[in-house]
Amino acid sequence: MKRCLIFLFILFALTEAIYSQIAITELSYNPPESGTDSLEYIELYNHTNAAVNLQGYRFTRGVDLIFPDVVIPAQGYLLLSGKASAIQAIYGLPSLQWTSGALNNGGERITIVNAQNAVIVDFTYATTAPWPTSADGTNGEGRSIELCHPLADANNGANWKVSENDLGFQINGKQVYGTPAAANSIPPCGPEADVTVTLGTNTFTPRDITINVGQTVRWNNPAGNHNINGTQATYPNNPVSFGNGAVAAGPWTYDFTFNVPGSYQYQSDAAVASGMTGTVTVIDNTPPDLYPRRTIAQMRSVNADGVADSLDVKCTLRGIVYGINYRTTGLQFTIIDGTGKGIGAFSSSSTFGYTVTEGDEVDIKGSISQFNGLTQMTLDDVIKISAGNPLLAPKVVTQFVEDDESSFLMIQNVSFADPSQWTGAGAGFNVIMTNGVSNFSVRIDNDTDAYSATIPGSPSGIFNVTGILGQFDNSLPYTEGYQLFIRYLTDFAAVLSTKDGSRTLTLLPVPNPVCDYVRMEGLDLMDEAVIFDSKGNIAAQFRNSSVLDFSGLTPGVYVVKIIHGIFSGTVRIVKI
């Protein structure tokens, strides 16, 4: 008796596993015909790998039909219809005609049982949202409804959509859409599984699988009481937990997408004693990032000879664009990060669709290179992140050094050492600016608006000059050849020019050089006098004075600005 019961249980489980694979995947419950219901159809689909004989199956709700000896092949279709001859004539397809009844145009429950009266299909369709409605074309307008996946919950109207497949003919002036006895046309619902594991009585088939990171496994339990338990509580070495909770009767499916590489174990709690376990090996197939993100400071380091430590290293750098494009046939610009560190970006011919605009935040991708001592990136791509970002205030310097290469700098209280150097010729020209103590090379490239302009201000004027520090040193060690690239003519800012409407004041300091006191020849009284040191800082200031007191100042070169009425002027004085 005991053996008989076991045999019956196994037989029941096996037959359930087959029967539950049948699903209704398409309905045409209100085709555009003249009230005869002859063109209504129901599509059955067998989503197993084995043929299923439906003899003895029957509808208990919906229409009337007891199935004859008819087989649905593996992953095949069976079309049921209100009138087989009509379906053949219009659709050109064979179908099994139901005995009587019709599909309700307002929705109804459909149930199919097997020969043992076990429920195989049981769901209720409707004509109101979330089900497709007459507005979608279901109410005599020519569209069938399709299930998004054979294993989807058929009672959920969101899983049904009107067909998108135009069959190429009309009925009563209505274009007909559907996929009778063929794969559905609507997008699948939810993530599609890359691998499907089928649950048997005591086995997973396949038991051990190998997949790539990001792939989805679907466990299909056609019948019986099972679950999927891959939790870290049961398998602590699993990289992450997965599972669908407590043991539950089939049919059901469970999907899990594995995004973390490693080795996983799992089980069915109901049959673990019988060895119902499985493994999933997840391989990280993500290709290495050819351009890993780095900081500008990391890529800017150099050795004792000024050679970049990161030559030929591929990376991605982010920064704010400063200045203009210095190359008309490609790209040559500078990006600077929030700490003031900058690096050049260069492409000989391609712009990668990017127009250089100061204030843009960009990612640049490419390889670190060096040109005449200037560390830069040879570009493979430029990606704009945002626009209109504020710039840092320029760093005030009194000399050019390697650590400030490609940084935004200002030199103060300088004048043209030789105004004739402002030539407006060639691919650009350099001028030497001096504060009387140090000389600075300033580059005016032919891509700037200053190139074709006349020399700014008075050739003897005093300026604060802003720009981006470059380098042109064609031999080792790369420790010379620094030059300040101006961006615009306005980078020359006069700081000791006359007031608006004022007149130039010619000044003759006596004595010069000076130890203690200086007076201005021909000027008995000065309304205001300001003495600037070589760094542009105010060293002393006087009002309504006839002499200037240098006695407390350290030796060096000073610039003095004098204002007297509507007149003003500047002069250099050497303190000894």
The confidence score (pLDDT) of residue 191 equals 57
Integer Cα distance of 345 and 368 in angstroms: 9
Q: What digits encode the pLDDT tens for the residues 65-79?
A: 999 999 999 989 999
pLDDT at 10 over 70: no
Average pLDDT score over residue span 49-74? 94
Element (H, E) at 559: strand 556-564
- The CATH number assigned to the domain with range 395-494 reads 2.40.50.140
What Cα–Cα distance (Å) separates residue 389 from each residue in 81, 110, 317, 512? Answer: 67, 63, 17, 48
Integer Cα distance of 279 and 225 in angstroms: 20
DSSP per position, 380-447? EEEEEEES-PPPPPPEE-SS--GGGTT-EEEEEEEEES-GGG----TTEEEEEEE-SS-EEEEEEETT
pLDDT at 16 over 80: no
| Beta carbons of 310 and 301 less than 8 angstroms apart | yes
Burial 365-389 (b: 16+ CB within 10 A, else e): bbbbbbeebbbbbbbbbbeeeeeee
Lowest pLDDT segment from 245-254, 387-396, 463-472, 563-572: 563-572
| Beta carbons of 129 and 78 less than 8 angstroms apart | no
Task: Give me the percent of the chain exceeding a pLDDT of 90.
Answer: 68
Structure tokens at 513: 């050089």
Integer Cα distance of 56 and 79 in angstroms: 17
The confidence score (pLDDT) of residue 566 equals 67
Q: What digits encode the pLDDT tens for the residues 304-338?
A: 999 999 999 999 999 999 999 999 999 999 999 99
pLDDT at 502 over 50: no
pLDDT at 196 over 70: yes
Distance of CA 301 to the CA centre of its chain: 29
What Cα–Cα distance (Å) separates residue 213 from each residue in 179, 220, 291? Answer: 34, 21, 21
The confidence score (pLDDT) of residue 426 equals 92
The confidence score (pLDDT) of residue 141 equals 93
Lowest pLDDT segment from 368-372, 405-409, 525-529: 525-529
pLDDT at 15 over 50: no
- Contacts of residue 147, Cβ cutoff 8 Å, sequence gap at least 6: 23, 24, 25, 26, 154, 159, 160, 184
Q: At 434, is the pLDDT very low, low, confident or very high (cuts 50, 70, 90)?
A: very high
pLDDT at 505 over 70: no
The confidence score (pLDDT) of residue 95 equals 97
Residue 350, judged by CB atoms within 10 A of its CB (0-12, 13-18, 19+), counts as: middle
Structure tokens at 397: 């310097």
Element (H, E) at 60: strand 58-61
Q: Which CATH class is domain 503-575?
A: mainly beta
Q: What digits encode the pLDDT tens for the residues 154-195?
A: 888 888 999 999 999 999 999 999 999 999 988 877 656 889
Structure tokens at 337: 């990060």
Lowest pLDDT segment from 136-140, 165-169, 475-479, 521-525: 521-525
Average pLDDT score over residue span 524-541? 82
The confidence score (pLDDT) of residue 459 equals 58
Integer Cα distance of 464 and 441 in angstroms: 14
DSSP per position, 246-278? S-EESSEEEEEE--S-EEEEEE-TTTGGGT-EE
**Residue 170, strand partner residues:** 175
Q: At 39, is the pLDDT very low, low, confident or very high (cuts 50, 70, 90)?
A: very high
Strand ranges across the sheet with 145-147: 96-97, 77-81, 41-46, 22-28, 145-147, 160-162
The confidence score (pLDDT) of residue 499 equals 41
The confidence score (pLDDT) of residue 460 equals 62
What fold characterizes domain 2-177? Immunoglobulin-like (2.60.40)
The confidence score (pLDDT) of residue 522 equals 72
Integer Cα distance of 42 and 111 in angstroms: 12
What fold characterizes domain 195-283? Immunoglobulin-like (2.60.40)
pLDDT at 2 over 50: no
pLDDT at 509 over 90: no
pLDDT at 238 over 90: yes
Q: Between 2.70.98.40, 3.40.50.970, 3.30.1280.10, 2.40.50.200, what CATH number should domain 296-386 receive?
A: 2.40.50.200
Domain ranges of the chain: 2-177, 195-283, 296-386, 395-494, 503-575
Average pLDDT score over residue span 239-259? 89
Average pLDDT score over residue span 130-149? 92
Same fold, 2-177 and 503-575: yes
Structure tokens at 69: 């000896």
Number of helical (H) and strand (E) elements in the chain, helices listed first: 3, 42
Average pLDDT score over residue span 248-267? 91
The confidence score (pLDDT) of residue 497 equals 43
| Mean pLDDT of the residues in the chain | 89
Structure tokens at 556: 């060096």
Give the residue ranges of DSSP H helices in 149-270. none
